[in-house]
């Protein structure tokens, strides 16, 4: 799940005109007391016209939080609400005025329409999603407007300009950082078009290309990109430690969390393609031949938190000979009798539990529910060009793409209906291939010995996304194992939330300790 939502307390087509600076005109219109209409004309600024594409999806954001960029609030915030309106436009002529109003074609996360906006101060922003290479709307080359403050105390009409472009991602220049841009022949063949993978590399202090190094593959929380290396490069305390004799001599590779339907999860999928095969057979050999002088799995490790916790554990389980240790923190649901609060094999509905209550998808560390799954999924429905979570680029889009069979219209078959929440029992059975408890139990005779000494899992027992029950269940299974008896180290910390114990430094020290342990044998 999304670590950023915890830290930020959040991170989970009007009528437009194309040039110039934003101007605001207020018009008095007869409105229901306390609710007012909003409409706009939108222009494409002349400075971005050359980069404009006429087909895309239009997003209109309203937020009452002055401190955020509205277009970045694509996870539902339980505190500072952001409301999103969206619709597809097949031909947006940049030389004509695009009018935005309540015409019945918008899908929205709000309970109100553009004709009935509750009175208040809002910050408005538009985004034109014209990119067709990436799964999420923060993709380079998408266009957006400057954030605009409006006071809804009467019906309002405004002009907004698409004047900004999301620029390409960059890794900071540093003598120890490298960028990998790799064409995958396996994925390109599967998709019948060129497919590229990116990663970033943090080399150890006084790196020597003639030496052999251990290597760590880090998997991000949901959707984390290879550019997250910048956070460490900008972290003075970490880099002071890293640029010293005290830091372990370990290479870290930051894998990229981009895939066709959201995060690829670095595993093979009926919908996204053979990302697991690509990682193990192509990307890892390429990186290791270039940077560390060996391809020995004895000194190869994997780690991550949240989505990264699930992926890292999955890679160790499904490719047990390729890694010599996993450090998994707060993994996404690793078995599906506890898919957060849903038992996908028995429950009939994802949104409503057996007692008739809406299922929460998020809570605080004292157990207070913060957000319902139905509300969360509606955000993904709005973000998806299919008007459903199936290609939203969000968390459940990625889960569904990874676990489910192919469905209609080149989309994955949904586990549950995006509006009603009704669960498809056949799809639920298909998900069993990535139910870690079922997989480990079925393969333990051959798998158990290969995992000896390799599994470390940490979980907060008040995980914000209810992920601890699945980890508990997996732990209960491991306690029953024989021939061999599992020696997995699984730690549950009471009253701790999602990813609260995760630390790059601590993971690196744990890897160093593991290396020292088998060197002594």
What is the reported pLDDT for 98?
Answer: 87
User: What are the distances in angstroms from CA 333 to CA 77, 101, 191, 384, 465?
Assistant: 21, 41, 29, 23, 9
Which domains are assigned to the chain? 3-165 (no CATH), 177-335+435-519 (3.40.50.1820), 337-433 (no CATH)
What is the reported pLDDT for 2?
Answer: 58
Rg over CA atoms, the chain: 24
- In tens, the pLDDT along 354-406 reads 999 999 999 999 999 999 999 999 999 999 999 999 999 999 999 999 999 99
Q: Which tokens go with 164?
A: 């900004």
- Window from 69-78, 348-357, 368-377, 483-492 with minimum mean pLDDT: 69-78
| Percent of the chain predicted with pLDDT > 90 | 89
Helices of type H across 292-394: 307-318, 373-383
Element holding 243 (H helix, E strand): none
Kindly provide the b/e burial profile for residues 32-59, where b requires at least 16 CB atoms within 10 angstroms of the residue's own CB.
Answer: eeeebbbbbbbbbbeebeeebeeebbbb
- Are 431 and 336 in contact by the 8 Å Cβ rule? The answer is yes
User: What are the distances in angstroms from CA 364 to CA 45, 197, 458, 461?
Assistant: 43, 36, 18, 11
- Are 16 and 43 in contact by the 8 Å Cβ rule? The answer is yes
CA–CA separation, 369 vs 367, rounded Å? 6
The chain-wide mean pLDDT, for the chain, equals: 93
Using 50, 70 and 90 to split pLDDT, how confident is the model at 77? confident
What is the reported pLDDT for 96?
Answer: 83
HSE-CB for 400 with a 13 A CA cutoff:
25
What is the reported pLDDT for 23?
Answer: 33
What is the reported pLDDT for 4?
Answer: 45
- The phi-psi region of residue 375 (left if phi > 0; otherwise alpha if psi is between -120 and 50; otherwise beta) is alpha
Handedness of CA 230, 233, 236, 239 (dihedral sign): positive
Give yes or no for residue 95 having a pLDDT over 90.
no
CA–CA separation, 180 vs 199, rounded Å? 5
HSE-CB for 389 with a 13 A CA cutoff:
29
- In tens, the pLDDT along 274-319 reads 999 999 999 999 999 999 999 999 999 999 999 999 999 999 999 9
What is the reported pLDDT for 33?
Answer: 54
Give yes or no for residue 443 having a pLDDT over 60.
yes
Using 50, 70 and 90 to split pLDDT, how confident is the model at 17? very low
What SS3 state is found at 169?
Answer: coil
- Window from 24-28, 105-109, 367-371 with minimum mean pLDDT: 24-28
What is the reported pLDDT for 450?
Answer: 98
What is the reported pLDDT for 18?
Answer: 32
Q: Which backbone phi and psi does 479 adopt, to 5 degrees?
A: -65, -20
What is the reported pLDDT for 6?
Answer: 46
- Window from 11-15, 126-130, 158-162, 413-417 with minimum mean pLDDT: 11-15
Helices of type H across 165-205: 185-191
- In tens, the pLDDT along 45-65 reads 999 999 999 999 999 999 999
What SS3 state is found at 308?
Answer: helix
Owner of token pair 């870690």: 436
Using 50, 70 and 90 to split pLDDT, how confident is the model at 34? confident
What is the reported pLDDT for 194?
Answer: 97
What is the reported pLDDT for 11?
Answer: 38
Give yes or no for residue 27 having a pLDDT over 80.
no
CA–CA separation, 57 vs 124, rounded Å? 17
**Residues listed for the chain:** 521
Beta strands in 132-289 (DSSP E): 143-144, 148-152, 156-162, 164-165, 177-183, 196-202, 215-219, 251-255, 268-269, 273-274
Q: Is the peptide bond before 484 cis (omega within 30 degrees of 0)?
A: yes
What is the reported pLDDT for 81?
Answer: 84
What is the reported pLDDT for 160?
Answer: 95
What is the reported pLDDT for 185?
Answer: 98
Mean predicted confidence (pLDDT) in 185-212? 97
3-state helix/strand/coil string of 367-427:
CCEEEEHHHHHHHHHHHCCCCCHHHCCCHHHHHHHHHCCECCCCCECCCECCCCCEECHHH
What is the reported pLDDT for 521?
Answer: 62
């Amino acid at each position: 799940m999304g670590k950023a939502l915890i830290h930020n307390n959040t991170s989970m087509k009007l009528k437009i005109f194309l040039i110039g600076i934003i101007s605001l005109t207020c018009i008095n219109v007869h409105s229901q007391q306390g609710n007012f209409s909003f409409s706009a004309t939108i222009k494409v600024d002349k400075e971005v016209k050359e980069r404009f594409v006429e087909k895309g999806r239009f997003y209109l954001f309203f937020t009452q939080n002055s401190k955020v960029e509205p277009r970045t609030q694509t996870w539902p915030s339980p505190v500072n609400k952001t409301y999103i309106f969206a619709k597809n436009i097949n031909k947006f002529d940049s030389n004509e005025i695009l009018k935005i109003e309540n015409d019945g074609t918008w899908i929205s996360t709000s309970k109100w329409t553009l004709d009935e906006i509750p009175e208040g101060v809002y910050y408005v922003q538009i985004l034109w999603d014209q990119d067709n290479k990436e799964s999420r709307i923060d993709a380079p080359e998408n266009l957006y407007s400057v954030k605009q403050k409006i006071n809804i105390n009467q019906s309002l009409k405004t002009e907004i300009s698409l004047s900004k472009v999301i620029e390409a991602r960059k890794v900071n220049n540093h003598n120890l950082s490298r960028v990998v841009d790799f064409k995958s022949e396996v994925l390109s063949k599967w998709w019948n078009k060129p497919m590229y993978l990116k990663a970033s590399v943090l080399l150890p202090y006084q790196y020597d290309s003639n030496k052999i190094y251990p290597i760590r593959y880090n998997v991000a929380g949901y959707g984390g990109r290879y550019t997250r290396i910048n956070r460490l490069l900008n972290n003075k305390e970490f880099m002071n430690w890293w640029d010293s004799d005290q830091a372990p001599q370990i290479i870290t590779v930051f894998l990229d969390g981009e895939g066709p339907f959201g995060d690829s999860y670095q595993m093979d999928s009926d919908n996204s393609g053979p990302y697991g095969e690509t990682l193990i057979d192509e990307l890892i050999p390429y990186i290791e031949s270039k940077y560390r002088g060996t391809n020995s799995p004895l000194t190869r490790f994997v780690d991550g938190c949240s989505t990264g916790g699930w992926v890292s554990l999955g890679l160790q389980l499904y490719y047990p000979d390729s890694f010599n240790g996993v450090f998994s923190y707060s993994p996404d649901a690793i078995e599906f009798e506890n898919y957060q609060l849903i038992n996908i094999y028995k429950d009939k509905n994802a949104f409503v539990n057996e007692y008739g209550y809406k299922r929460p998808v998020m809570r605080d560390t004292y157990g207070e529910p913060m957000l319902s799954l139905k509300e969360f999924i509606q955000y993904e429905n709005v973000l998806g060009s299919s008007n459903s979570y199936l290609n939203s680029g969000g968390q459940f889009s990625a889960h569904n793409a990874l676990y489910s069979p192919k469905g209609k219209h080149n989309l994955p078959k949904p586990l549950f209906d995006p509006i009603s929440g009704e669960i498809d029992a056949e799809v639920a059975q298909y998900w069993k291939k990535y139910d870690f408890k079922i997989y480990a139990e079925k393969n333990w005779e051959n798998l158990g010995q290969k995992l000896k000494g390799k599994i470390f899992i940490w979980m907060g027992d008040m995980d914000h996304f209810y992920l601890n029950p699945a980890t508990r269940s997996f732990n209960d299974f491991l306690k029953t194992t024989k021939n061999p008896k599992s020696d997995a180290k699984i730690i549950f910390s009471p009253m701790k939330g999602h990813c609260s114990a995760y630390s790059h430094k601590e993971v690196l020290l744990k890897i160093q300790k593991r290396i020292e342990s088998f060197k002594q044998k």
